[in-house]
Amino acid sequence: MPEIGETLRETRMRRRIDMTEVEAATKIRAKYLRALENEEWDLLPGPTFVKTFLRTYAEYLDLDPRLLVEEYRQRFERPTTQDLTPFRPNRGGGRQRQRQRRPIGPFVVVGIGILIVLGALYILGRQGANDPEEGNTVATPTATPTATASPTPTASKKKKKAAPTRVSLKLTATDRVYVCLVDATGKAVVNGEYIEKGASTKTFRSRYFRVNFGNSSVRMSYGGKRYSPANIGQPIGYELRSGKKPKRLKESVRTGLCAT
């Protein structure tokens, strides 16, 4: 399996993502991101932060975070102090067993005597209640215990794992326009094509999109809203994420989306 840092760095470079963009998106300082790519674990706050940062960075690059975190655990994580502590038998266990083996004969004798006396009094009471010479006796009704419905345990709400937020995007040309549209996997779903006036693309879905327009003659429909590019008299690019307004791309990122 490739090195952890090499996998992160090659994926980022292949997608032409600048380190500042990763820092802004993941909220992880750039020096820690570089430490992950260089596998300089000692520069990170600790194993817990390493795994957290590694998981966040991998998810941003659409890698499998579980594989990278497991690889880190097996190769670099050291066993905790608790795992290395030898088992020590309980020295007081012998004394406790000795206390349990002490004779308890006197207590048993006293208990048996009390039970015999109570049994005798119960028998005499029953005989007196059944004696006809004592007259009619009124039997005291015994309350029948009413079955109490046990409270139905409240069904615990199952926590549903939040599905990753996806963007649904559709483009409509208001005039002839050049379009390059790349999804979160780096695939160009519209690879540098011209869309004629009044034509629309199909609806694309991905975690996010990056798009390069040759001019502003296009309308973007996503998140239930419509947006139009800024008319700056030259090509312009945007990054589109769910719940956020279009974010303008840097020129170096925009020009590298599709081969011209």
Are the C-beta atoms of 223 and 167 separated by less than 8 Å?
yes
| Six-digit token string for 1 | 């399996």
Task: Give the range with max mean pLDDT: 62-66, 118-122, 154-158.
Answer: 62-66
Backbone dihedral angles phi then psi of residue 237, each to the nearest 5 degrees: -130, 155
Q: What is the H or E stretch that residue 93 is in?
A: helix 93-100
195 has a pLDDT exceeding 60: yes
CB under 8 Å to 158, separation ≥6 — which residues? none
The CA distance from 145 to 61, in Å, is: 66
Biggest distance spanned by C-alpha atoms of the chain: 121
Evaluate whether 203 touches 160 at the Cβ level (below 8 Å): no
Can you tell me the mean pLDDT for 83-92?
46
Give the per-residue pLDDT at 20. Answer: 93
Comparing 172 with 101, which gets the higher pLDDT? 172
pLDDT at 22: 92
Band (pLDDT 50/70/90 cuts) for residue 87 is very low
Predicted confidence band of residue 152 (pLDDT cuts 50, 70, 90): low
What gap in Å lies between CA 219 and CA 226, rounded to an integer? 7
Pick from 18-32, 88-102, 149-163, 167-181: least confident? 88-102
Question: Residue 106: its pLDDT value, please?
Answer: 63
Q: Which CATH code of 1.10.260.40, 1.10.287.3510, 3.40.1370.10, 1.10.10.10 fits the domain covering 4-79?
A: 1.10.260.40
68 closest CA partner among 114, 118, 1: 1
Q: How far apart are CA 35 and CA 44, in angstroms?
A: 7
For residue 199, name the pLDDT band (cuts at 50, 70, 90): very high
pLDDT at 156: 47
